[in-house]
Amino acid sequence: MEHHDQREKEAEEAIASINKRTGRNMPQAIATAAALVVVILACLLIRIDLFVVLIVVFMMLALWELRVDFATAGLHIPVVTLWLCSAATLLATYYSPHHIMTLALCIMGMLLLVALSATMKLSLGNRLSLAVADKLSHTDAGARLESSFNHERGEHNHSRLSHVAVSLFTVLYIPLLAGCLIIPLTFGGHPVAHAIMLVFLPALSDTGGLFAGAWLGKHKLSPRISPKKSVEGLVGSMLFAMVGAFAVFACTYDGATWATRWWVPIVMGVMVGLVGTLGDLCASMLKRDIGIKDMGHLLKGHGGVMDRVDSILISAPFIAILLWAAGL
């Protein structure tokens, strides 16, 4: 019995050590990731339209999380307008015969509507206040003091222009980049393969960076912005993404395509590793500037939807352009 208790204690200590080095609850993170993989693959196998709907749902959740994040600093974004316009934009982009033009026109219209809506502060009852209070309860005081906003004085008063500015930033950050997840599904004749590359390569890159950084990370990449990021983690991100890209290509394309496009998985792996890490660093800068620990709270072990989709969103236009330029 004592030997069994000792093994359990050692296992708990090992998990605690991994959690500390990775900065997250790894058992929870793995369970959540497995559930997400099952849902995404089920949508792709049943019908590609379900995957498009799934993108819409995740973007709406991400918009709510960003609404709460900005609210902790006293900034307001018109989340209802963003929900309606984002759903319409993503669905129209997929179903319209002129996908890129539709996306461009919808984004321009959304910028105008969101800018107008941002000048009006509409209340959603006490749901937002409760979400903000919960967010602040899980944020340490040090992060608040490092923020660009003076939180010691209570609620910060911003001009209407500030609300408009963060609202327009939100349009470019979420709906526009999410539209780049939709575009590759409309060309090349391999929508499932494109969807897997768009979603799973950045996720695989994150996983490679996480484990390489946890076990081998010694040289900090940007200690001021993200202390846990390392050069070794960046290399691991690129290698994992490259292996994933080769696996998808091997299951999708024939020998003739491989003969002329063998370089694409290499470029894609390096690109996703670099851009995904940049996306994580940009999100870390945003969190530090606002004064919060995590961008969201809806996914157990992952911080939130925004913490999972930031690298996917920032990688989407680059993957889309590479696939289009390579004729895939």
Residue pLDDT, tens place only, 104-156: 999 999 999 999 998 876 655 555 555 555 555 555 545 444 555 544 444 45
Please say whether the beta carbons of 39 and 57 come within 8 A: no
pLDDT > 70 in the chain, percent: 71
Domain locations in the chain as residue ranges:
2-325
Identify the pLDDT of residue 68.
Answer: 84
**Exposed e or buried b per residue across 144-180, where buried means at least 16 C-beta atoms within 10 angstroms of its C-beta:** beebebebeeeeeebeeebbbebbbebbebbbbbbbb
Is residue 65 very low, low, confident or very high in pLDDT (cuts 50, 70, 90)? confident
pTM: 0.81
Residue pLDDT, tens place only, 143-189: 444 555 544 444 456 777 888 999 999 999 999 999 999 999 999 88
Identify the pLDDT of residue 224.
Answer: 64
Instruction: Average the pLDDT over 295-311 and give the result.
Output: 67
Identify the pLDDT of residue 228.
Answer: 67
Identify the pLDDT of residue 150.
Answer: 47
User: Which residue would you say has higher pLDDT here, 275 or 18?
Assistant: 275
